[in-house]
Each structure stands twice: as structure tokens, then as C-alpha cells.
Amino acid sequence: MKNKIAALSAGVLLVAGLVSCNDGETYAEQKEKERKAISAFIGRDAVVMESKTDTLIHIGKINVISESQFYQQDSMTNVEKNEYVLFKSTGVYMQIISKGAGEKLKSGETRRVYCRYTEFNIMADSVQTTNNSIFWEPRPDIIEVSNTSGTISGSFVMSSAGWGAMYTAYADKSVPAGWLIPFTYINIGRQVSSDQPISKVRLIVPHSQGQKDASSRVYPCFYEISYQEE
């Protein structure tokens, strides 16, 4: 049975008290709950709905591939097979929908990137935040991202219109570590024609690689994110 979630369309959709930790739970127990939630999510046919009749994201049943297979496929995932690569060192799962136009971020380079995203709390089974709405159109989330000898770092910066949805929700300039993993594999550029795709990925991000609320409350999130040069 498909898991249909009604995604609200306005503002930051932070759900209060989504994952309240039991004072009696140990950190190990919380991590085990998270692990089981991710495993169940991968195996089910999840659908995020924009309304009662309109699908926002069809996640589907996920086919996990190894890093070695991912590299053999020219660092790509087969979208038709719904492949996600698991990076064992971080626990992040990634699907590259499109590598996009432009070039990879070079060593020693810093660039500003527009991000459009939807954040789905796996344990709460609901959309948590998103900037894919008219409300956030004038205030995109902007990342200033740097490559220092292969190490990717980044922070959210304010646009001329104000802060984007992620900073507004979590009051933290630090970009979740899971969001930065794709920059090793995708291109960063501008869309100059309608038939030219921009970089787009889907991620499953455990709490250790997520935003500060996920980190403190120990819950994983699914993201669909597009990246485009400012």
C-alpha cells in the first residue's frame, strides 16, 4: 500500500514535536530505531502528495547499490531501476537524477549555488520543510560551497531578499553534511535553455549527516534537491 503524504505548499512546514525523544531511551536505542525506519522506508512504495490527487514525489521502492557498482557506472545511478548508492562511511544514500550542466567544483574553488528542496521526515512520515512554493520563490536557499583539496564545505548565505527556508527553520548557517556529498559527483552551472537539465539528486540522510534538529532528536530525512549556480 502506497504511503501517501499530503505536502502543504506554503512557508516553512516544520512540524513541532515530530520526534520527541523518550527520556528513558539510550542513544544506541534511538539509533536502532532510526536504522529500522530507514530500512522500512527503502523497502516500501512511498509517495509524497502535493494534494489529495497530485503527486509531489514518487519515491518508490529503492534498489540499493554498492559504491563499487556506482563507480563502475561512471558515478551514476540508474533512475529507471530506482538505484541509490549507499556511502557506508556516512550512512547516506544518494540517487543522481541529473548531473546537470556546467562543471564539477574544482579544488580551491568557491561558488554560490541556489538550492530548491523538499525535506521529508522519515520517522514522522511527513514533509517537514520545503522551499518549493510561491512563498519562497523570491528567497531561495543559497549555499556558498568550497572545495579544499577534495574536502567539500559549505554554509547558507542570505540573499538580498532575506534568508531561505532552511535557515529560517533551523537558525543554522551550517549546511547539513549530507547535502554536500553530491558536490563530488554533480556539475554546477546555469540552465541556459529549457532542454538543459540542472543538477538534481535524492538523498536519505541519517541524523549524523543531517540538520541540527535531526542530529539532536535522532531522526533521518529524505531530500529531493536541485542545485544551480547563482
Instruction: State residue 5's pLDDT score.
Output: 39
- Quickly state the pLDDT bin for 7 (edges 50, 70, 90): very low
82, 102 in Cβ contact below 8 A?
A: no
Cell of 33: 530505531
Q: How far is CA 160 from the centre of its chain?
A: 24
Domain limits of the chain?
Answer: 3-229
| Residue 141 CA: distances (Å) to CA of 4, 116, 128, 164 | 27, 7, 16, 4
Instruction: State residue 126's pLDDT score.
Output: 86
Q: Which of 8, 32, 14 is nearest to 128 (CA)?
A: 14
Better pLDDT: 50 or 9: 50
CATH second-level architecture of 3-229? Roll (3.10)
| Local structure of 93: helix, strand or coil | strand
Cell of 99: 548531473
Is residue 10 predicted with pLDDT exceeding 80? no
- Quickly state the pLDDT bin for 54 (edges 50, 70, 90): confident
pLDDT digits (tens, 9 = 90+) for 169-226: 999 999 999 999 999 999 998 877 767 789 999 999 999 999 999 999 999 999 999 9
Query: Whole-prediction pTM value?
Result: 0.89
Q: Count CB-CB contacts under 10 A for residue 68.
A: 9
Quick one: average pLDDT of 64-71? 98
